[in-house]
Amino acid sequence: MIAPIYITGTGVVSAIGIGKAATLEALLNNRSGVGPLKYLKTEHKEFPVGEVKLTDAEMRERLGIAPDAVTTRTALMGMLALGEALDEARLTPDMLPKVGFISGTTVGGMDMSEQFYLDYLSGDAHKEYIAVYDCGSCSEMTAGHFGKFAFATTLATACSSAANAVIQGANMIRCGKADIVVVGGSECITKFHLNGFNSLMILDTNPCRPFDATRSGLNLGEGAAYLVLESAESAKRRGVKPQALLSGYGNACDAFHQTASSPDGEGAYRAMKEALALAGLQPTYIDYINAHGTGTPNNDVSESQAMMRLFEKVPPVSSTKPFTGHTTSASGSIEAVFCILALQQGFLPVNLNWSQPMDNGIVPVAKPEKKTLQHVLCNAFGFGGNDSSLLLSSAKVPEPVEGPTDRMTVLRQAQQSGSIFVLSAKQISMQQPLSEEWMENPIMYDVPFSRSIDPSFKEYVSPIEARRMGRILKRALATSKEALKTAGCDTVDAIMTGTGFGCIENTEFFLDALSNEGEQLLKPTYFMQSTHNTISSLVAIQTKNYNYNATYAHKGISFESALHDAWMQFCLGKIHSALVGCHDEMTETFHSIMKKGGVMGKDDERCGEVAVSVVLTSHCEERSNPETKPLCRLTGLKMLHQPTMNDLMDAVTTMLQSAERSLADVDFILTGISGNHQSDEAYLAETKTLFGDKPLLKYKHLFGENFTASGLGFYVAAQCLNAGRVPSHLFVNANEAIDQQPACILLFNRSDGKDYTLTLLES
């Protein structure tokens, strides 16, 4: 059992209303927001959807944003929901520098990219929207409207994204990384994913009917919701009353299929079971389950089986997606707010449109019912079998006496956790793949962009599978399997992945066909492999890993976000091993678009692709075989959003102190110097202030720039520590090359001058 985390503010926007008051009125009166398409310009008028009943212009006006401001619909909806949550929690702009922000989205700025894609290719029109395509940019726009947060990152695990943001925020509070974290997600409907779901033939032309014998698919929706998570100590100190408690949570991987759920609901079963275990509750304590309940034949059978496996008597269940449509990445937080309203008001949300029981399935709540609720489960399941469950409790439930797993004990355990060992690290890039030949004989490039040098993939994936698999997926499998093999691991306790753009080649194929050929006869394979967490879930499926699985997509700190997740779970004792990866690809077309938008490729900056997989462990026995000894130790990690120089100086000091080190112990500073003159000058100035005359290293001239290039930096530093030397071609100034055995390397990464990370590796 853990001490519950307080929820002190919530905000929501969906098809049934703007704000909680309108939302509650619709839920109590069984008023659906699903109807004919009105705002999205698409050929497919046959599909009912749950659109937010405002144009982008109307949302800008409500928010006080200039009509010509560069924004996305995802960000605008996020701002509306976030504003309500901050107001309820009484969080003012001057308080935000001590508050974390974690958002979930997968679509990101696709609503603009699909409109202007052909313009991007043909000229300079609308190129200002290129920089807001990625998921992290949408999160930063949402948060930035209200001020400067201490920490910001983005989860992209398809339809479980927002639920996983809640889990990440809760872990931050339990680790003592923050007292308050705002979590949730936002997602708009786009032609891209409307047509993608249609290509999978899982959209219904009638209002969806979850758990009904006649169900035939889902209705898409859009919206946003955010929850303010707060430690009990902070809430009491500020004098804010909780709306509800986050008592438990679980995340598991179904490890079955890229889009379908397993017949027995293994991932869903594990996620719900973990949430109950963390809360210290038996299944009989659950009063209601807000099911994922999409209305597809596959999901509803799978989820029914999972619930019947876990509960001897299944409690009242309903899906609220007939109210809103399936809001995909935002569904976990939107439906969590619905659950909180049900806890507060004492009612069971109705499963609209249900009339006929399905074979061997649950019978949902079909009529309005008042009921006192104390504990409810809220499920959110994503493509690739990324299954998450949140356990929410009434604020009237007495807080348990803090025992051996209370917050202070967790903090002490975190401080005493010692080292995290890097057992192995493998790369595929512009250098020779799956080798360290770059240390002796690097390949030097004088071209602005180059794709990776790929190995033969026959050892890692069958020819039949390979024919339908994008290159980024094959690279992820190869590096992951090699890293696990070298580490002597059959499996790990968790898989975390960072990716800035995900499977961009398949996204490009689908978007190109959509833009040039229209909205008919689109290939489902390209859509199936376009989601960011396809990479992480495929690794889980191929390695039969049913454990924790998460994907982060926040620009140049995507890798560190995944690493940070692993770090916290090690500190909490939830895991003892992890596979952390970073994977990004780049095509000729995508490179030209990114360069045109000023995102990367400026000046002498070379761009490339990246696939890095790292195996970490907190348990490391002495190994007699020197080939399997750890490469190094991870002893420090800090992430900062829009810090001042004083913030950075404090972060360096506190990180080194927590590792029982000083700046004098650091041998080298590994930077992200890339050939972008403006960025490089900032690196030189900032490292001079922070680290004085410490020798500087670089690596992007060998491996190229990309949103997750920092993962290659981690790999490079680990290999240098393992080899006991730093090759001369890594020094920023060749005449400053030092023949010194490295014992401690500090990685300093800056992304757009907004996000900074500090990572400490030691021999």
Could you list the active site residues?
Answer: 159, 292, 326
Are 319 and 353 contacting, i.e. CB atoms less than 8 angstroms apart?
no
Residue 542: both structure tokens together: 């191929």
CA distances from 25 to 19, 29, 272, 541 (A): 10, 6, 29, 42
Amino acid at 727: P
Element (H, E) at 335: helix 331-345
Question: Rounded CA gap, 651 and 722, in Å?
Answer: 26
The label of the residue with tokens 């290039």 reads 709
Residue 360: both structure tokens together: 């061997």
Q: What are the helix and strand counts (H, E) for the chain? A: 24, 23
Are 213 and 357 contacting, i.e. CB atoms less than 8 angstroms apart?
yes
Region of 695 please: left (phi>0), alpha (psi -120 to 50) or beta.
beta
Q: Which of 2, 6, 1 is nearest to 340 (CA)?
A: 6
CB atoms < 10 A from the CB of 98, how many?
A: 14
Give Cβ neighbours of residue 675 (< 8 Å, ≥ 6 apart). Answer: 603, 604, 605, 606, 700, 701, 705
Q: Which of 16, 346, 377 is nearest to 163 (CA)?
A: 377
CB atoms < 10 A from the CB of 54, how many?
A: 18
Question: Rounded CA gap, 130 and 443, in Å?
Answer: 31
Question: Rounded CA gap, 249 and 762, in Å?
Answer: 34
DSSP states along 721-761: HHHT---GGGBSSGGG------SEEEEEEEETTTEEEEEEE
